[in-house]
Amino acid sequence: ELKVEQNPLFLSMQEGKNYTIYCNYSTTSDRLYWYRQDPGKSLESLFVLLSNGAVKQEGRLMASLDTKARLSTLHITAAVHDLSATYFCAVDTEGGNEKLTFGTGTRLTIIP
Amino acid sequence: DAGVIQSPRHEVTEMGQEVTLRCKPISGHNSLFWYRQTMMRGLELLIYFNNNVPIDDSGMPEDRFSAKMPNASFSTLKIQPSEPRDSAVYFCASSLWNTDTQYFGPGTRLTVL
């Protein structure tokens, strides 16, 4: 059974600081997704990583994928309050955007 | 595009009642997914369809749950009879088959008393 683990589960950080969220998964996959969820809201797609070594950046967020280590990271640079949300990674093990298994989520709180 | 549309947004019902959740996927998308989100279990895939055909329903918790997709623009998730442990947020998502992103609807918050 595929397991997707994120750490940390909770993260409070000050504005302006840098931090990294980690996503480990237990089986072979070359597709990994990052989503954001604001409280009481739906999930918003952030990044899609499709191959080993893929790196994508949008604003203060940068995601990377190491398929050999079965690890993805979401790096936050110079955090701002608007980035407060829960971040999920999800892994597709059957190719073609079929069954996504989501991680536990990381609740990020940016403190002024 | 209006995005994925779900109704109702909130549903409160009593144990034993039938509940029907509805979803309209993004026009042109041919894959549709039903998820359930709870604090205890996180986000779980219940069932997904491709071209209106159920592909994998292994995530459906038990026989009380059923899903249909009679056409490309409409799907339902039914719970009969409902139980308090079914209380959760139910999300519908759609995508183009074999492409990169699933687009999520706003969700239906179900409370079973």
Question: Residue A20: what pLDDT?
Answer: 96
> Which residue in chain A is spatially nearest to B57 when comparing CA positions?
A99
Cβ–Cβ < 8 Å for A104, B41: no
Band (pLDDT 50/70/90 cuts) for residue A85 is very high
Mean pLDDT of chain B: 94
Q: What is d(CA B40, CA B67) in angstroms, rounded to the nearest whole number? A: 23
Decide if A47 touches B, using CB distance below 8 A: no
Please enumerate, as own/partner, the contacts of B79-82 that have beta carbons within 8 Å and a separation of 24 or more: B79/B18, B79/B19, B79/B110, B80/B18, B80/B19, B81/B15, B81/B16, B81/B17, B81/B18, B82/B13, B82/B14, B82/B15, B82/B16, B82/B17, B82/B18, B82/B19, B82/B110, B82/B112
Cβ–Cβ < 8 Å for A60, A74: no
Question: Residue B2: what pLDDT?
Answer: 81
Mutate to test the interface with B, among A98, A102, A107 (most CBs of B within 10 A): A98
Q: Which residues of B fall within a CB distance of 8 Å from A99?
A: 45, 48, 56
Mutate to test the interface with A, among B100, B108, B109 (most CBs of A within 10 A): B100
Judged against a pLDDT cut of 80, whether residue B1 lies above it is answered with no
Band (pLDDT 50/70/90 cuts) for residue A98 is confident
Mean pLDDT of chain A: 91
pLDDT tens, residue by residue, B62-77: 899 999 999 999 999 9
Question: Residue B29: what pLDDT?
Answer: 93
Band (pLDDT 50/70/90 cuts) for residue B101 is confident
